[in-house]
Amino acid sequence: MATKLWEKSTQVNAKIEAFTVGRDREMDIFLAKYDVLGSMAHIRMLESVGLLQADELKILLSELKSIYQMADNGTFVIEDGVEDVHSQVEMLLTRKLGDVGKKIHSGRSRNDQVLLDLKLFSRAEIEKTVSAVSDLFNILISQSNKYKEVLLPGYTHLQIAMPSSFGLWFGAYAESLADDLQLLLSAWKITNRNPLGSAAGYGSSFPLNRQMTTDLLGFDSMNYNVVYAQMGRGKMERTVANALASVAATVAKLAFDACMFTSQNFAFIKLPDEFTTGSSIMPHKKNPDVFELTRAKCNKIQSLPQQIMMITNNLPSGYFRDLQLIKEVFVPAFAELTDCLEMTAMMMAKVEVNSKILDDARYDYLFSVEVVNRLTLSGIPFRDAYKQVGLEIEAGNFKPDKNVHHTHEGSIGNLCNDEICNYRDDIISSFSFEKVKVAEKKLLNS
């Protein structure tokens, strides 16, 4: 059995060990390559302040690159009896290099290691999420432009209300995703600050150069106050979770609309048969299961900030083992949301639109406001025009004029999709993805 990094003369009880380790080893596989990146930056800094020799740095970097490759290609494992990724990496170094491997932990704690790992992991996953959001955005804008002339009913209280269009429907969700990107940008900026060097939350008596590790890892800045750096555990995850939840809320609402609009009672849109599933008893069924599962998964993701809040809610400053449990709900959320985004993009790209919806007389009253507005433009006071049309409806004499002429910004006839795209592009340009890639590539190739 492997020795713990913290173990002295007493071996911990087996049940206590199993309870305290929990699912950490499983979650830490996702963090492995980021743990290695952090160690590479840390030891370069240690060498610069005289805590490692140049020849020691060289062999440590070489071995860490090998471990990084293992983590990157999926062959890295945390062995039985090893608590976490930090312990596994240090053990591999010590096994291969002897006492030199024991030197990499100078000036840091597993507390700031896991803080760093989670930030590097979240940074990479936010970039993937932004890409998936942007891909769905592009499809929605494309469909909005393609079907901008096709009208469909707008609803309030689930009662027919006023004319809408597929241009508006697709475009509305695109603009919602753009706002979600604003929250992801805020989450990115909070994530992209370096906690390394805060150690157990109170700094170190070693002459660490925290600016050096900040630059080596491509961070925008550091978490300056070492106590706050440790307090950031949980806060960063909750902030990111709120951004993920915002994206999930947009996608869940879209999925609900899609489920409703594909039903025979609406028949506004149709999915290709190969995108639907059947019934074991009803041979006619073509179920929108992907949208239903997307709705459920996204609703689950929307609970993530509350789950993290309940784990951290009554904790004072300093580190507590409670924080370990955040990984179990936080780490898998990125892949689940990205999966939902990719599936929704595939479905929305292939959806078939019904272009004859408003030929049905049941939708005639949608145009009542159009008639009121025309009367008002002809000089009749709005309230009198409203009453006149209302009385015609009550008497069964209402005759709709289905010509819709909306010109103001964001309306049926003026979608402002170009402006929405510019808004999205400005947000994406504010992420420092390229700076991070350059820094990580340089670190791996040094």
Each residue of 100-155: pLDDT tens digit?
999 999 999 999 999 999 999 999 999 999 999 999 999 999 999 999 999 999 99
Question: Per residue in 376-416, pLDDT tens?
Answer: 999 999 999 999 999 999 999 999 989 899 999 999 999 99
CATH 1.20.200.10: which residues of the chain?
110-207+224-359+416-445
Q: Are 230 and 262 in contact (CB under 8 A)?
A: no
The structure tokens 């990084």 sit at: 68
State whether residue 378 is helix, strand or coil.
Answer: coil
Cα torsion 329, 334, 21, 110: sign: negative
The structure tokens 């994406």 sit at: 428
Q: Are 62 and 102 in contact (CB under 8 A)?
A: no
Calculate the CA 251 to chain-centre distance: 12
Calculate the CA 227 to chain-centre distance: 27
CATH fold group of domain 14-103: Fumarase C; Chain B, domain 1 (1.10.275)
pLDDT for position 369: 95
pLDDT for position 4: 56
Region label for 91, one of left (φ > 0), alpha (ψ between -120 and 50) or beta (otherwise): alpha
Please give the radius of gyration of the chain, using alpha carbons only, rounded to the nearest integer: 28
Q: How far apart are the C-alpha atoms of 101 and 255, rounded to whole Å? A: 51
For the chain, list residues with pLDDT below 70: 1-10, 18, 20-22
CATH code for 110-207+224-359+416-445? 1.20.200.10
The structure tokens 């492995």 sit at: 32
One-letter amino acid for residue 174 of the chain:
A
Q: Are 226 and 257 in contact (CB under 8 A)?
A: no
Q: Are 297 and 251 in contact (CB under 8 A)?
A: no
Sequence-distant (6+) residues with CB within 8 A of 188 are 123, 126, 431, 432
CATH 1.10.275.10: which residues of the chain?
14-103
pLDDT for position 26: 79
pLDDT for position 100: 96
Question: Per residue in 243-269, pLDDT tens?
Answer: 999 999 999 999 999 999 999 999 999
Q: What is the DSSP string of 260-300?
A: HHHSTTT-SEE--GGG-B--SS-TT--B-HHHHHHHHHHHH
Q: How far apart are the C-alpha atoms of 26 and 443, rounded to whole Å? A: 27
Give, in order, the Cα–Cα distances in Å from 103 to each of 126, 157, 387: 33, 66, 84
Q: 87: how many CB neighbours lie within 10 A of its CB?
A: 21
